[in-house]
Amino acid sequence: MNVTIFGTGNMGSAIARVITAGGNTVQSINSGDDTAVTGDIVVLAVPFGALDQIVATRADELAGKTVVDISNPLDFETFDSLVVPPDSSAAAQLAEKLPASSVLKAFNTTFAATLTSGKVGDNPTTVLIAGDDADAKEQLAQVVTAGGLKAIDAGSLRRARELEAFGFLQLTLASAEKISWTGGFAVIP
């Protein structure tokens, strides 16, 4: 499987390592880079605010592909709310703008360090995946588990709202030093 990752920050780099660890290949695309997308799965490892630019320039190219939104759409000035409507989610908004793509929510509940170490404390790191396309979720889950992590189907794309609340809460606890950036919420089966 070839996976295109937009963004080469902490999260993009950590996700790239997971994918290559599983024997799959990664195409990394930086902002401003107009290289053609070659991946079957496309991970948008960019801040929420950068999604619209990708939609504006890449929507046609992303048609027919699985597109993974990893964003936590926080108001980072206040750390007190999300910037998406409370009855929606960043992923749902993205899916509306990319109707020809299979949009998934994933990786927003795992800090970069836990993707790299494969551990949240002593527990395996689990990637929670929400989306309406069961095949796309299964494909992403296979890439994640090949890379040594656990994956759980967290339900339809409507659950992106709860995943974003989960990510929001985890970020506020880490920024308040109640938990560390190597910890967070572990998923215990």
Answer yes or no whether residue 47 interacts with a copy of itself by CB under 8 A.
Answer: no
- Residue nearer to a copy of itself on the CB measure, 29 or 179: 179
Say if CB 73 and CB 91 are below 8 A apart. no
Nearest CA-CA partner of 103 in 146, 149, 145, 163 = 163
Q: Is there a contact between 174 and 184 (Cβ–Cβ < 8 Å)?
A: yes
Distance of closest approach, residue 179 Cβ to a copy of itself, in angstroms:
5
| In the complex, least distance from residue 159 CB atom to a copy of itself, rounded to whole angstroms | 7
**Contact string 114-133 vs a copy of itself (x = CB under 8 A):** ------xxxx----x-----
- Give the range of 40-48, 53-61, 99-107, 172-180 binding a copy of itself by CB under 8 A: 172-180
Q: Which residues ranging from 58 to 87 are in contact with a copy of itself (CB under 8 A)?
A: 80-81, 85-87
> Shortest distance, CB of residue 31 to a copy of itself, whole angstroms?
29
Say how many residues touch a copy of itself, by CB under 8 A: 37
Piece of the chain touching a copy of itself by CB under 8 A; list 11-19, 30-38, 46-54, 151-159:
151-159
Separation between Cα atoms, residue 148 and residue 44, nearest integer Å: 21
Which residues contact residue 148 at a Cβ distance below 8 angstroms, ignoring those fewer than 6 apart? Answer: 18, 21, 22, 118
CB closer to a copy of itself out of 6 and 166: 166
Among 138, 156, 157, 181, binds a copy of itself (CB under 8 A): 156
Are the CB atoms for 160 and 92 separated by under 8 Å?
A: yes
CB of 8 to a copy of itself, least distance (A): 27
Tokens of 30: 């930086």
Q: Rounded to an integer, what distance in angstroms lies between the CA atom of residue 27 and that of residue 175?
A: 31
φ and ψ at residue 84, rounded to 5 degrees? -105, 155
Dihedral sign, Cα of residue 130, residue 133, residue 137, residue 140: negative
Rounded to whole angstroms, the Cα distance separating 28 from 66 reads 16
* Contact positions vs a copy of itself (CB under 8 A): 80-81, 85-87, 120-123, 128, 152-156, 158-159, 161-163, 165-166, 168-169, 172-173, 176, 178-180, 183-189
